[in-house]
Amino acid sequence: MAWPLLQVLLIAAATTAAASSSGTTPDGPAPWPEQFHAVLFTNLTNVSVASTGPPLRLHDLYYDWPRRRNLNLIRHQLSGDPLYDVEWNNGTTFYFDTATCRTLQVAVGVLPPGWLSGAAYLGRETTGGIDCHVWGKAGFIVYYEDALTRRPVRWNFLDVTGIQQFVMSFEVGVVLEDDDQWQAPAHCFLDDAANEDDDHIAVSNGITMDAARLFRNFAGAAAAY
């Protein structure tokens, strides 16, 4: 009879240790892997000025820090023509689909893996059935990461857009090797005046209402903290 009791005690001790470990507050959010592919569900329904396109969309995010590039392949609801958002570390961003293109130049490059360094811990919260550590930074973003795996789960922007993005899948080490997917098409290099009517990027009071652009603008603020 002693052996089953010993097993019970060992299991109880292991469970207690695991619970204690999972309850430990980490020093900060886990840095992003240097390369990954994530599928994001983006919800822009909270604020009507957040976008001129449909408010619900899927993003294929390819983050490639060693090559200092980032690609968001954005599929609007019920649209067959995806929008490409290709970002380079020199601050150049190309937004294009099969018919239109807009080139933007911003003061910062691709977000580094440790862009959340210095974030304030806001506690634990369950979102989508996942137990998460919650972090906030610069009064700009609330970031949720899986308390067990440390993978990103979702983030909310705290600016006027109210954009919410949910991580549906997260594949570490996956790289988009097809160079054609990264290359801006020929119509991106026409006279800028030809692209002045591009309506993929809504602007209100001089602020671009786009999740990827918000991240780029935030990179400068993140570096200052």
Give residue 14's pLDDT.
Answer: 37
Q: Is the separation of the CB atoms in 219 and 108 below 8 Å?
A: yes
pLDDT per residue as tens digits for the range 83-99: 999 999 999 999 999 99
Q: Rounded to an integer, what distance in angstroms lies between the CA atom of residue 110 and that of residue 90?
A: 8
The CATH number of 35-114+151-223 is which of 3.40.50, 2.50.20, 3.30.70, 2.60.40? 2.50.20
pLDDT per residue as tens digits for the range 171-195: 999 999 999 999 999 999 876 544 4
Question: Which amino acid is located at 46 in the chain?
Answer: N
Reduced to 3 states (helix: H, G, I; strand: E, B; else coil), residue 145 is strand
CA angle in degrees (0–180, nearest 5) for 8-148-151: 165
Q: Domain locations in the chain?
A: 35-114+151-223
Q: What is the helix (H) or strand (E) element at residue 12, kind and residue range?
A: helix 2-22
Give residue 9's pLDDT.
Answer: 34
Question: Which amino acid is located at 187 in the chain?
Answer: H
Count Cα atoms within 13 angstroms, Cβ side, for 198: 22
- Report residues of the chain scoring pLDDT below 70: 1-23, 46-53, 160, 191-225
Tokens standing for residue 22: 């999972």
Strand partners, 131: 126
User: Comparing C-alpha atoms, which of 41, 40, 48 is closest to residue 160?
Assistant: 48
Give residue 77's pLDDT.
Answer: 84
Q: Rounded to an integer, what distance in angstroms lies between the CA atom of residue 51 and that of residue 31?
A: 29
Task: Output the pTM of the full model.
Answer: 0.77
Q: Rounded to an integer, what distance in angstroms lies between the CA atom of residue 32 and that of residue 110?
A: 12
First and final CA of the chain: distance in angstroms? 59
Give residue 59's pLDDT.
Answer: 92
Q: Rounded to an integer, what distance in angstroms lies between the CA atom of residue 61 and that of residue 76?
A: 14
Tokens standing for residue 118: 């210095």
Give residue 54's pLDDT.
Answer: 73
